[in-house]
Amino acid sequence: MDVSEERLRKLDSLVAGGEEPFGVGQGLADRRLIAEILGAEDPDAEPQAGVCIAGRVTALRDHGNSMFFDLRDVSGRLQAYLQKKVVGPERFELLKNGLDLGDFLAVSGGLGRTRKGEPTVFASAAQLLTKSLAGMPKEHFGLADVETRYRQRYVDLAANPESFERFQIRSQALAEMRRFLEQRAFMEVETPVLHPIAGGAAAKPFITHHNTLDIDLYLRIAPELYLKRLLVGGFERVFEIGRNFRNEGLSPRHNPEFTMLEAYWAYARGYDWLPLVETLLSDLVREHGAFGRGDAELRETQLPWGDAGVVVDFAPPFARRSYAELLREHADADAFDEASLHAAARREQIDVEGRTIAQVTDDLFGACVEEHLVQPTFVTDFPLTMSPLSKAAPEDARVAERFELFAAGMELANGFSELNDPAEQLARFEAQVSSRDPELPSEVDHDYVNALRYGMPPAAGIGIGVDRLVMLLTATPTIRDVILFPLLRPTGRS
């Protein structure tokens, strides 16, 4: 008889004994109140306050005529103590023989402490809320198999407290980002995910089809072009937090669907974002980082990258380095000289044939420079050739007023002064189309150009990769560990 057969047998005996293994819930004490009671009372006092708590049984310690069990809910673990002499022999035997790790249980009784000081509900009554029919890994060992952790995230969350906490931090970080922007008068908006033209970034899109209109549509690779249409309409500060989809490889830093924060700020210039980004990131690391909580001064996070790990210091200001300077330093190439870039690319065995200079430059930067950008660094003054949606810098037409933020060798953010000249934008779109690059749109987004004809105020835009930011906050080296249900190849097994 295997584990689930045993549990079905117990289910029958519990039902026969009057339990409702899949019944309705009931009102329960807030465990924060319990914490207050425990904090206020005399630790030596007899249990007095009557409480009712519920949770999942994560440990069972059977002493024959009494038993301890740990009940875990979202607030943590609380011990309950069940005694035969209190609940009566029939009830006691029914629960003792029927309970398993993983079951949900409600317990009411006096709240107090054991001789060893452990906060405990001394149960006068206990009621099964839900029977768990599948064997749960014991908490002490957890669930280590990464494939099971991703395919059955519910088991991972239930068995691995650090995974549970990681996703709580992700949620807190998202809430903090919204609060940060709303405090600065940014308005959250929702723009389409289904795009007739996949624009706003260089990436291969997912293609889908709408039956009634009988048209192919793309899952968005970026919300950028829609958000900027809103600036034309008069909204001056907008942001969107949402999923982007890029039909590309999977890696520890890439998932085909990922979460991006994009914000647009009318009348600002690209580099106006820098102090805001410094404040947002250092606040996030201090308030929500896995290693920063509770310490107002600490803005560092210890990352398990490399052999020894690395400490990343998010205290502002972050370093600023120009793109050309970094490319010169680490790739010995001139960012504005095509022959020099091609020569450096060949040295690094980067494909040159049939590829645009923007792609070659980007690959060269990725191969030679990114790994060196461990401490938070704003890379500034991107070559205009690789910034098709950016306005040229007034001081130097070769570059855009564009930056990317790197930390721990990862790109975290990308922002710039937005191009708002419709004729210039049209020319750049036409150049993209004629390049026949599969990562660039195959047709010109004439409606976007038309929107610009109505007039878009000068503006600064930014995109922040939320998943990677959460990786930094939680010192997690794999994007799959900060995405609840990462993409895996489906299996036929049940």
Binding site residues, RNA, CB under 7 A: 1-3, 6, 10, 59-66, 68, 70, 79, 81, 83-85, 97, 100-101, 114-118, 120, 122, 135, 137-138, 140-148, 150, 249-252, 349, 351, 367, 478, 480, 486, 488-489, 491
In the three-class reduction of DSSP (H, G, I as helix; E, B as strand; rest coil), residue 44 is classed as coil
Q: How far is the CB of 435 from RNA (least distance, A)?
A: 19
Between 143 and 475, CB nearer to RNA: 143
Q: Helix or strand or coil: residue 138? A: coil
Tokens representing residue 177 in the block: 């980002």
DSSP 403: E
Angle at Cα 123 formed by Cα 122 and Cα 125, nearest 5°? 165
Residue 490 structure tokens: 């489906």
Q: Sheet holding 459-465: strands in order across?
A: 187-188, 237-245, 257-266, 459-465, 410-417, 402-407, 377-380, 319-322
The answer to whether 493 touches 148, Cβ cutoff 8 Å, is no
Q: Given CA atoms 326, 329, 331, 335 in this order, what sign does their dihedral have? A: positive
Closer CB to RNA, residue 136 or residue 392? 136
Shorter beta-carbon distance to RNA: residue 175 or 487: 487
Contact 364, 345 (CB under 8 A): yes
Residues 6+ away with beta carbon under 8 Å from 179: none
Q: Which of 479, 438, 450, 483 is nearest to 218 (CA)?
A: 438
Q: Give the count of alpha carbons within 13 A of 113, CB side only.
A: 14
Of the pair 96, 178, the CB lying nearest RNA is at 96
Nearer to RNA, 66 or 375 (CB): 66
Cβ 335 to RNA shortest distance, Å: 20
Distance between CA atoms of residues 116 and 439, nearest Å? 64
Tokens coding 319: 């370093």
Smallest separation (angstroms) from RNA to the CB of 370: 11
Residue ranges of alpha helices (H) inside 51-152 are: 84-87, 89-98, 146-151
Shortest distance in whole angstroms from residue 403 CB to RNA: 25
Give the shortest CB-136-to-RNA separation in angstroms.
Answer: 7
Q: How far is the CB of 330 from RNA (least distance, A)?
A: 15
CB of 161 to RNA, least distance (A): 13
Cβ-based nearer residue to RNA, 25 or 88:
88
> Would you say 35 or 174 has its CB closer to RNA?
35
Q: In angstroms, give the least distance from the CB of 302 to RNA.
A: 19
Q: Which residue, 65 or 450, is less far from RNA as judged by CB?
A: 65
Per-residue tokens: 15: 């039902």
